[in-house]
Structure 1
């Protein structure tokens, strides 16, 4: 088994570095990218390549994918599928590509794909540090909602979990603040609890605001001003 160097590494030479403002993730045809940063993926087609791309914000990102290599056997095309992988990595102003195993046969893929060895590399071919885990689901595997599964996974605080910033986080903080400040209390002990909850809500507001990008921060300011 050897690792395939993706075509995107050579194609990157034709793209101006000055145009880089985010992270461009190149996705090969045999990589089924399911979720990125808590959202269902919409890929853009490559202009000179069969690969697709996805633009991610600078900083930490999380992806959910499966590797689905295909082979020709007895004149028919067959494929095999890896476990669903959830992974996080950090990159800025760069092009990132998957580097996947090059299985020589269907049998080899079936033997090794359960222990998938893969990498993310930048445009210079340098490995990018990642933390990965398997996104598992008990029982029937049909009709899986990977967005919800990734959300549930992140709430566990497992090794590949991240805290997703944005409007959803800000809304959660606002809801917590509303709950803490509108519940009436009738005694001194309850008033103390109310104060503690309000302080906690304020800390969460600051936390989520600082995690959000500038556009989300502005929307939050506009909401408060209303």
Structure 2
């Protein structure tokens, strides 16, 4: 088994750092990102249009809202925000753009809140599937605590909730329980993926321990 694992881990070690995040999500004009996978995310500024985030392949949950300038002229315009929305999607090796339709009046913003026509597109112009829900504001808040709100939201049955699987319900965990140290897994592609994933997540000390363990043959 170690003879199989060693070249796989060595290949993971030599993978350039830039491939660790293989999903690039760009935000359209006026779109603000507030949380990624349960953690708060800071924005660069209003109407930046070029902000975004790099993610690993897999399932991701984000919280966004839409900031627009409403008014007939720049002198009498005001900045308004839409409701906050939770978007859940799964992808790999893609460049995606999240955008919203043009809004110029309070009525159009209200209509967007009622019927949020978000678009998640790849660079080829193809729509990418996602689940959507409103992240309801809890009472009066000067500053929203998105991490706390998402913790509650993810315990609901919303289609946009990100449910963390427990070991007892995780197929990978069940497979690990059924494979003894002397067995070889049938799905070697999965083995390679898991080794690469955990190696890239490890700190330098853990990486050194992993390499020593494989070389030792224990």
Question: Normalized against structure 2, the TM-score is what?
Answer: 0.63
Q: Distance in 1 between matches of 2:106 and 2:93?
A: 39
- Equivalence for 1:130: 130
- Equivalence for 2:173: 206
Deviation at 1:108, TM superposition (A): 3.8
Q: Distance in 2 between matches of 1:32 and 1:102?
A: 15
Matches within 5 A, 1:12-23: 22-23=22-23
- Equivalence for 1:77: 77
Residues 1:121 and 1:203: Cα distance change in structure 2 (over 3 Å): closer
Residues 1:158 and 1:55: Cα distance change in structure 2 (over 3 Å): same
- Greater RCO (CA < 8 Å, at least 6 residues apart): 2
Contact 2:27 2:99 survives alignment (8 Å): no
Contact 2:58 2:92 survives alignment (8 Å): yes
Q: Distance in 2 between matches of 1:124 and 1:144?
A: 35
- Equivalence for 1:87: 87
Q: Distance in 2 between matches of 1:71 and 1:99?
A: 18
Contact 1:95 1:122 survives alignment (8 Å): yes
Deviation at 1:203, TM superposition (A): 7.3
Stretches of structure 2 that go unaligned for 5 or more consecutive residues are 1-17, 177-189, 211-218
User: Residue 80 of structure 1: SS of its match in structure 2?
Assistant: strand
**1:57-78 deviations in Å (ceiling 9; x for gaps):** 1111101011111134342331
- Equivalence for 2:66: 67
Contact 1:33 1:41 survives alignment (8 Å): yes
Q: Distance in 2 between matches of 1:164 and 1:39?
A: 14
- Equivalence for 1:160: 160
Q: Distance in 1 between matches of 2:110 and 2:152?
A: 30
- Greater helix percent: which structure? 1
Residues 1:158 and 1:50: Cα distance change in structure 2 (over 3 Å): closer
Question: Normalized against structure 1, the TM-score is what?
Answer: 0.61
Count of residues in Structure 1 that have an aligned counterpart in Structure 2: 169
